[in-house]
Chain A
Amino acid sequence: MTTVRAVEMWTLDPLTTYVAEAGARLVLLMTPAGQVLAQSGFSKALDVMGASALGAAIMASTTELARLLGQPPFSALNHQGRQHGIFLSGFATDRGPLVALVVYDLDVSSLGLVQLFFEHLVADLRAASPKAGATKSVLAADFERELTESLNALFGR
């Protein structure tokens, strides 16, 4: 069974349930800026940082593209290859807007399952999320320590 690691513990139960139900191979839960709240399936910190940066960049690009078209931001994006699919979607919570990046094996799961259980994940996260004011601001002096703590939490060190 894939282990889910979380920096913000309120995300742990919803994400654990989602990974099991949707059969997701990799999941990243992050802010639109790319700050990771929880991950499942990743084994290297470098992979998490790269995936979160790229995921956040894709969300920013598509949001801007939608703005240019005079449309509300795209709700979800799916890329499918021969063996894997990538599902990327943003959603609002009381903690603020979040982005989920899901990688699934086409042998194990499908876009339909990933989307179906994603609706449940969003509902569970909304129910569990703290209010926006509860998150503390990150000071420059604390940044490195908090980054190290986050990476330790994400990889169970």
Chain B
Amino acid sequence: MSGSGGSAFGSALDLVTRVRGVRGAMLVARPDGLVVAEQLMEGIKGGAVAALAASVTVRLQRAMGTAGLGSCQFWHLQCDHGSLLAVTVGETMLVVAVTEPDVNVGLVRLELLRVAESTA
């Protein structure tokens, strides 16, 4: 797994990437959709995932707000070949995990929340 970003952020992402079935994790600047730190397996386009995940979050946030449900804290997109999970860190950051289809979603969510706490 290749990584970039500060060592503090990198070691925080280790919490997520050490879970079996996780193909990568990223810290994303939420307003810009740019990668702050990443640990990804070969073949995952970090920049593209970051930009689109941030965009999804902004739209979900708007939908949640319109429905009077408060702010979006966690989302999980399940697809045929894997999942995308994201936890928001305040208004500025997003922790994203790219996983295999058979991953332990609960455990990944827990680790994402721990990363969010440590980087808040």
Give residues in A with beta carbon < 8 Å to B. Answer: 80, 106, 109-113, 115-116
Contacts and interface: CB of A to CB of B under 8 A. Distances in A.
Nearest to B58: A110
A116 B32 CA distance: 11
A112 B30 CA distance: 10
Contacts of A112: 28, 32-34, 47, 50-51, 54-55
Nearest to A85: B32
Contacts of B28: 112
Residue of B47, B48, B54 ringed by the most chain A CB atoms within 10 A: B48
Contact of B47 (A80, A106, A109, A115): A115
Contacts of A115: 47, 51
20 contacts: A106-B31, A109-B55, A110-B31, A110-B33, A110-B54, A110-B58, A111-B32, A111-B33, A111-B34, A112-B32, A112-B33, A112-B47, A112-B50, A112-B51, A112-B55, A113-B51, A113-B55, A115-B47, A115-B51, A116-B52
Contacts of B50: 112
A116 B31 contact: no
B64 to A, nearest CB: 16
If over half of A's interface residues share one DSSP class (helix, strand or loop), that class is named, otherwise mixed; here it is helix
Contacts of B51: 110, 112-113, 115-116
A85 to B, nearest CB: 9
Nearest to A108: B58
Nearest to B28: A112
Residue of B32, B47, B48 ringed by the most chain A CB atoms within 10 A: B32
Residue of A106, A110, A113 ringed by the most chain B CB atoms within 10 A: A110
B54 A116 contact: no
A80 B29 CA distance: 14
Given A106-B31, A111-B33, A115-B47, 14 more contacts: A110-B31, A110-B33, A110-B55, A110-B58, A112-B28, A112-B32, A112-B51, A112-B54, A112-B55, A113-B33, A113-B51, A113-B55, A115-B51, A116-B51
